Amino acid sequence: MHASTPPAPTAAPARWRVPLLVKASVACHLGAGALALAQPALWPWALGAVALDHALITGTGLWPRSTWLGSNLRRLPPAAIARHEVALTIDDGPDPAVTPAVLDLLDTQRARATFFCVARHAQQHPALCREIVRRGHSVQNHSFAHAHTFSLLGPRGVRRELAQAQDALAQITGVAPRFFRAPAGLRNVFLAPALHEFDLQLASWTRRGFDTLRRDPSVVLARLTRGLAAGDILLLHDRHAAIAPSGRPVTLEVLPALLRRFEQAGLRAVALPEALA
């Protein structure tokens, strides 16, 4: 089903609240400027303070699970934990060579997942994207192009990536995404206000398998299941996954055992919209 018109940004219910770190950064710049004007001899100290501030802001953006730049869903809410739910998230697709196999594996355990799709790939494989939704899973926003420079974009660039992806994914699936995951989890100070404009919630993860780097399925599985508990958000990939010694994407080697661990632990894999309903 196609949406008849591209969705406009959802009207936000409340004004965006500027994070404390951003307020402190603004204060730092103003204070440094005032100091340099009042005491020109102290300009190296003022410049040093600004440099430290920029380093802190940059470091925070490189920490995917940080909440210092704005709201970040790192774990499911208490109600979902009480229901013994976990969220399995699959990034970077859809991929016609891998995603159908992922869907089949999920079906075997009646597990539901959230696919953070790159909109450009979704446009190339719209039927596959709709098949994800038809099978009961959720398609969410992972940017339009998944550019490695996403965290370096200015406010217009960030908004353009979100808007193009929202439009494309809503037209393909008929449902506007509610969640966003930054490419590689990296972001900057311009992302949070843009997310607020489109009524999107940033989502990171509780644990990741590094399946784009690790070829050994046992290593990836161990990273995902060590301390596994209700409320966890787990990250795998259906595109860009490393190739296991078997010659198959490591994600396909890990998923059957991971889903069995869910069952053994009494955990139910659900899509993010259901977990936060």
Contact 23, 212 (CB under 8 A): no
Residue at which a domain ends, from 61, 88, 111: 61
Confidence of residue 61 (pLDDT cuts 50, 70, 90): low
Domain assignment of residue 88, yes or no: yes
Q: Are 57 and 93 members of one domain?
A: no
pLDDT digits (tens, 9 = 90+) for 32-53: 687 678 888 877 776 776 677 5
Domain that holds residue 40: 20-61
Mean pLDDT, rounded, for 103-131: 98
Q: CATH number of the domain at 199, please.
A: 3.20.20.370
Q: Are 210 and 271 members of one domain?
A: yes
Mean pLDDT, rounded, for 169-195: 97
Q: Are 266 and 141 members of one domain?
A: yes
User: What is the predicted pLDDT for the residue at 49?
Assistant: 66
For residue 82, pLDDT beyond 70? yes
Closest C-alpha to 218, from 261, 253, 269: 253
Provide, rounded to the nearest whole percent, the portion of the chain with pLDDT above 90.
Answer: 76
Q: Across all residues in the chain, what is the average pLDDT?
A: 90
Domain count, the chain: 2
pLDDT digits (tens, 9 = 90+) for 127-138: 999 999 999 999
Domain assignment of residue 85, yes or no: yes
Q: Are 32 and 116 members of one domain?
A: no
Distance, in Å, from the CA atom of 130 to the CA atom of 37, rounded to the nearest integer, reads 59
pTM of the model: 0.88
Confidence of residue 54 (pLDDT cuts 50, 70, 90): low
Q: Are 203 and 266 members of one domain?
A: yes
Domain assignment of residue 70, yes or no: no
Q: Are 55 and 102 members of one domain?
A: no
User: What is the predicted pLDDT for the residue at 63?
Assistant: 79
Distance, in Å, from the CA atom of 153 to the CA atom of 172, rounded to the nearest integer, reads 26
Out of 52-66, 163-177, 199-213, which region has the weakest mean confidence (pLDDT)? 52-66
The label of the residue with tokens 């920029």 reads 54
Residues 6+ apart with CB under 8 A from 249: 98, 238, 241, 242, 243
